[in-house]
A and B are shown apart, each in its own frame.
Chain A
Amino acid sequence: MKQVNLFLFSISFFIIISCNKETIDKKTDYKNLLLNLGNDVILATYADLDAKTIDLVNALTQLEANPTDDNLLFAKNAWRAARIPWELSEGFLFGPVDQQGIDPSIDSWPVNQPDLDAVLSSSNQLNKAYIDGLDGTLKGFHTIEYLIFGIDGQKAVNQFTTRQFEYLKACAQSLEGATQQLYYAWKPDQKNFIANVINAGDVGNNIYPSQKSALEEVMNGLVVIADEVANGKINDPLSQQNANLEESRFSSNSKQDFANNIRSIKNVYLGIYKNSFGLGISSIVANQNSKLDQKVKIELDAAILAIESIQGTFTSAIFNAKPSVENAQQKVRALQLTLESEVLPIISNL
């Protein structure tokens, strides 16, 4: 009898394990992964964005006070530096950036040049409050870009008017207001949107009923930006042979913009930002299909390399070095396809 009992005990144990295997697997805890993505990637990127736009405010304040060639170069570099974390954030364009209507104040494009000229010619007082009240096409990164680099990218310090210096400073202050709003929207001791991501699946989470739904969100964000780089940002100017369709053409910053968009995907995929290494989507993919994980990593680097290998400026390359632009587009499309048709299903089937 004892032996039978022991046998029974063993077999029941076996049955319980085998019947519940699927259930246990489905309950893999992604808390650490979401914690890392939320804190070390998303929040850290937004913190950087706000810090770099504060630098931009300072640079443009300095330029207004002391308009020299050096200070103009300094301002141009500050613009490029602030642009980096913004492009690095475009892999996760969900939540407050959209819901609170922040995106138009940061990245509206194109610039409303006729209205900008009219505002500058007017006697309206140019301060942060005034700029805050204007439409997105009269402020944000691209308006600042247009004013400091000039329409041909060659603007010299003696070509600025006093009103332009004033406008630039106020515009940077307004941009910083928007990046701070965005950072604070996520920051735990402020509006704490990050809690929705980190605590996905917890009782009372109004946004994400499961960790899977938060991961689907993140994954969709990656697909969206890969699509936008390949089929929008690169494709529109290239296929229509029209440089006016290029977003950062005044500064010739497009190649950096595109590459940083792909790095945004890479940061989320690997769970890295700057020097911090953590858990990302990669850990899930590697667990199920290590070959696919390797493929994604290779395609990420290939896309970045191909974008950076576009010959000369993007503006010139769409006419004079089309194969190098087409190659970059092809590499980003390959990445997009892999993310969409191979990685996304893994997350959707978790």
Chain B
Amino acid sequence: MKLVQFLLSLGILIIFSCQLKDEVNIQADEDLKLGGETSITGSYIQGFQQPAANLSALELELHRSSDKAFGDIFVTAPSTINGGLGPIFNQNSCENCHVSNGRSPFPNDFNDLRGLLIRLSIDGAGNHGEPNPVPNFGGQLQTKAIFGKNPEAKLSWNKIEEIQTFLDGEQIKLSKPNFTFINSYVALPQNVLYSPRIAPPIIGLGLVEAIKESDLLAIEDQNDANNDGISGKANRVWDYQNAVIAIGRFGWKAGQPNLIQQTAAAYNQDMGITNPYFKTESSFGQQQYDASNDDPEIDDLTLKSATFYPQSVAVPKRRNTTDPTVRSGKKLFLQIKCGTCHHPKFITGQHSEYAFLSNQIIFPYSDFLLHDMGDGLADNRQEFDANGKEWRTPPLWGVGLTKTVGGNNANYLHDGRASTLEEAIMWHGGESENSKENFRKLSKTERNALIKFLESL
């Protein structure tokens, strides 16, 4: 009897004392490694600045040298190094927009907009469907200039506020910046269309490039054949190098087909640096064109290097995946159909250049397709097949580290209008109206759980 009692007590003791440890060992979620084998562990400011975990020694070395290209600062020509800036530009280096590789903070000061820029066009489209440039301004408002030239205009803004009410009575204030152009160097035409854009994080871009085109097209539903209120179409854009129409993957409206063209366009438009892809200055045909005979201002190696950097940056793993609140938030996220557009999973195909991006099981939480997001978010400016209400679903990997990486002013949505994830959700409209309304109906505990899930990404 005594022995039985003793053994029983001992058994209970062992079970109790070791139980805590067992609870921690709950199997991690499938999507722990958001970026597949490129994923790194960590929750800190430099979390978006880590090399992919699966680089070879040679690729790691390449990554490090490409980091330098990404940080290189350009100056006015002639210069012994890094010459060719402008004559009109938005920033003088990649890094000055992509702050700590994360979302650009919304600017405090209209003198330095950081990663905020304005795309411009007039109605209609060019030969390949690209937006029609504005005479004397082109396709983008360059808000800085080298000495002796003028910024195309300066920006000013006020915030337009509105109150939204959740079903439980709690209110949330939404605000959006309303931009005006001041001191433009020549008058802007009355019919100008404009679209504000905040520089997005650069994590996982190589993986997005490696997603099979057939996988993107398979989830297209242009005419909403399945009748779920959500369509989704891939943008068809112009691939300048190959002179063909291609599926758009990058940018707020998926206006760029691949990373090298995205990078080359950023050099050209954001910094005024001509390159092997875009050999003509952004100011060509305008009053401030410098007509200097130094193009292209960077060579192919530099362009490739600056492209490799975002291709080889790691995606941080999810955090707190075993937290019950996070788990219930994930369920809610899927229940209210956020996951229809924020498509959780892909398996990448063969990347054309780098094996470390190939065959990765990734969880970007995006379908990379265009969706009508309603009037509240509309920029009313067309970009190839994306109309004025359509935006590409932005990936959510890393979204939980937005403020960690970029600080308090690192906000959400294309123009940085939403200072919290809850605000960002409440801006959803159009095809996402139902999901937004379902979010509105959740209790505060449920809403918080859903946000906790997003913060775990």
Contact = CB atoms under 8 A, between A and B. Distances in A.
Interface of A: 1, 4, 8, 11-12, 15-16, 19-20, 22-23, 94-96, 98-101, 104, 108-115, 118-119, 122, 133, 135-137, 206-210, 213-214, 216-217, 220-221, 224, 227, 231-232, 236, 242, 244-245, 348
Contact of A227 (B18, B50, B64, B82): B64
Contact of B96 (A101, A109, A214, A348): A101
Interface in B83-103: 85, 92, 96, 99-100
A12 B21 contact: no
Which 7 residue pairs across A and B have the least CB separation, nearest first? A99-B407, A217-B44, A112-B75, A244-B80, A115-B147, A118-B147, A114-B76
A348 B10 CA distance: 36
A46 B9 CA distance: 59
Contact of A216 (B44, B114, B147): B44
Contacts of B41: 348
B22 to A, nearest CB: 10
B358 to A, nearest CB: 26
Interface string B111-122: 110100000000
Nearest to A138: B147
Contact of A100 (B13, B73, B407): B407
Contacts of A113: 75-76, 79
A16 B15 CA distance: 10
Contacts of B79: 110, 112-114
Contacts of A110: 73, 75, 79-82
Given A20-B17, A109-B73, A136-B92, A114 B78 contact: yes
Contact of A19 (B18, B49, B68): B18
Nearest to B75: A112
Contacts of A245: 81
A11 B14 CA distance: 10
Given A99-B99, A104-B96, A221 B46 contact: yes
Contacts of A208: 43-44
Given A1-B2, A4-B6, A208-B43, A99 B406 contact: yes
B233 interface: no
Contacts of A96: 407
Contacts of A1: 2
Contacts of A94: 44-46, 100
17 contacts: A8-B9, A11-B13, A94-B100, A98-B99, A99-B100, A104-B96, A110-B81, A112-B146, A115-B75, A115-B146, A137-B75, A137-B92, A207-B45, A209-B319, A210-B43, A217-B46, A227-B64
Interface in B371-428: 403-404, 406-407, 409-410
Contacts of B319: 209
B102 to A, nearest CB: 9
Interface string B29-68: 0000000000001111110011000000000000011001
Kindly name the residue among B17, B42, B45 whose own CB sees the greatest number of chain A CB atoms within 10 A: B45
Contacts of A236: 68
A79 to B, nearest CB: 20
Contacts of B10: 8, 11-12
Nearest to A8: B9
Interface residues of B, number: 51
Contact of B44 (A23, A100, A119, A214): A214
Contact of A119 (B64, B80, B99, B147): B147
Interface of B: 2, 6, 9-10, 13-14, 17-18, 20-21, 41-46, 49-50, 64-65, 68, 73, 75-82, 85, 92, 96, 99-100, 105, 111-112, 114, 144, 146-148, 319-320, 403-404, 406-407, 409-410
Contacts of B148: 118
A134 to B, nearest CB: 9
Nearest to A11: B10
Given A213-B42, A213-B44, A220-B50, A12 B64 contact: no
A225 to B, nearest CB: 12
B17 A244 contact: no
A323 B17 CA distance: 61
Nearest to A118: B147
B73 A137 contact: yes
Nearest to B12: A12
B43 A213 contact: yes
B390 to A, nearest CB: 32
Contact of A101 (B76, B99, B410): B99
B421 to A, nearest CB: 13
Contacts of A115: 75-76, 146-147
Nearest to B24: A23
B65 A231 contact: yes
Tell which of A95, A110, A136 has the most Cβ of chain B within 10 Å: A110
Contact of B6 (A8, A209, A221, A242): A8
Given A1-B2, A19-B21, A23-B21, A98 B45 contact: yes
Given A15-B18, A20-B17, 11 more contacts: A1-B2, A8-B13, A11-B13, A12-B10, A15-B14, A16-B17, A94-B45, A104-B73, A135-B92, A210-B43, A216-B44
A213 B316 CA distance: 13
Contact of A207 (B2, B80, B85, B404): B404
A122 B147 CA distance: 10
A115 B2 CA distance: 93
Contacts of A98: 45, 99-100
Given A115-B75, A214-B44, A15 B99 contact: no
B42 A216 contact: yes
Nearest to B144: A135
A122 B146 CA distance: 14
Contacts of B409: 99
